[in-house]
Amino acid sequence: MPFITAVDTVDIRFPTSLTLDGSDAMNPDPDYSAAYVIIRTDAGDDLEGHSFVFTIGRGNDVQVAAIDALRPHLLGADIDELLGDMGAASRLLTTDSQLRWLGPEKGVMHMAIGAVVNALWDLRSKRAGEPLWLHLARLSPEELVSLVDFRYLSDALTPDEALEIFRAAVPEREARIAELLERGYPAYTTSPGWLGYSDEKLERLAKEAVADGFGQIKLKVGANLDDDIRRLRVARAAVPAGYPIAIDANQRWDVGSAIEWVNALAEFDLAWIEEPTSPDDVLGHAAIARGVAPIRVASGEHVQNRVIFKQMLQAESIAVMQIDAARVGGGNENIANLLLAAKFGVPVCPHAGGVGLCELVQHLSMFDFVAVTGTMEGRMIEYVDHLHEHFVTPTDIVAGAYRAPTAPGAGGEMKADSIVAYRWRGLRAVSD
């Protein structure tokens, strides 16, 4: 029987702050980074599990240390046993009676668990010879339900309800797989909208986004209202009438400020306001949703776990759910989040961009289409044209849509040369 022989970690950082890529009102100078993990075995098949946690520079070493803290749970473990029951594998990590105290189920420890779980899924889908989205979509409803931890969810979603959702999708699964392979999955882009970009660059990139077929653009806001008005005026003039423009405050405001600020921008016909306040403030999001209607509230990229998502849906705090593939407890918990969204009838438009987030999260949205909701209506995956060249299987965008990945794995494996070149050495994120 094969065993896990190594759990290797790397602190990887890209100097994106030099060009202000990724800049917003709360994070003006991010260095897009990855706390990277590789799971190796003695199976003799040359297959490895790769994944990461996305961060934006300082503190990435802390995130790496959190992944390192999980190593004793994995070294020497029977890899066939772990991969054969991914629900149990996930719970092995989330229920450690001592490490759990550091969360519980939130913060850097939970994100570390997500990286490890995603790496295990990467290895499992590589062994199956399938991309992760397809591998998940062809599991039985019963096996899919077994992946989800329903603890703390049963007042909103029960295993029987989840089973019903999965079973309802089965008859159309193969047709949806064929449709996805032909059409891809709709995307929107934030590439024009970074706060540090000039008006000229914003205008050029907005026009390019329309020409490239993206169904929506998104602008960062929240630092200065007059600047936001000017930038939105530039963006609105650059795109066709009625073209969707969303805005993202990245948690900048208190509840009252959010309502006032968004209403001051309402003339620009906004698709949604994203992260208007603290991601932990369920009732604050609900108050903002009432105060800015009919503009929708979107949130989720920093939501800590399935329990917060449950409360947001119960409180009608969000009209658009945004999951992050490298946050929460990885793929298993994000399946729970997709089920919750389906139960409450809220579309999921994932957060992406960053380092490899596009590569990871596309699998979850595609799985959702095939095996959960059966629809792409009102759903899009965020896309940002940054750093894809560093991945073994980068995203493929055609006519504003994600093409369905066909390579085995979960998409998070970085090129060996990039890992070496951008390994953090304490002073700069480039090779000597």
- What would the 3-class secondary structure string for the chain be? CCEEEEEEEEEEECCHHHCCCCCCCCCCCCCCEEEEEEEEECCCCCCCEEEEEEECCCCHHHHHHHHHCCHHHHCCCEHHHHHHCHHHHHHHHHCCCCHHHHCCCCHHHHHHHHHHHHHHHHHHHHHHCCEHHHHHHCCCHHHHHHCCCCCCCCCCCCHHHHHHHHHHHHHHHHHHHHHHHHHCEEEEECHHHCCCCCHHHHHHHHHHHHHCCCCCEEEECCCCHHHHHHHHHHHHHHCCCCCCEEEECCCCCCHHHHHHHHHHCHHHCEEEEECCCCCCCHHHHHHHHHHHCCCEEEECCCCCCHHHHHHHHHCCCCCEECCCCCCCCCHHHHHHHHHHHHHHCCCECCCCCCCCHHHHHHHHHHHHHHHCCCCCCCCCEEECCCCHHHECCCCCEECCEECCCCCCECCCCECHHHHHHCECCCCCCCCC
- Phi, psi dihedral angles at 384 (to 5 degrees): -130, 130
Burial class of residue 161 (count of CB atoms within 10 Å of its CB; 0-12, 13-18, 19+)? middle
Bond prior to 347 in cis (omega within 30° of 0): no
Q: Give the Cα separation of 329 and 111 in Å (integer).
A: 6
Q: Give the residue numbers annotated as catalytic, written as ranges.
A: 220, 351
Where on the phi/psi map is residue 391: left (φ > 0), alpha (ψ -120 to 50), or beta? beta
- Phi, psi dihedral angles at 243 (to 5 degrees): -70, 130
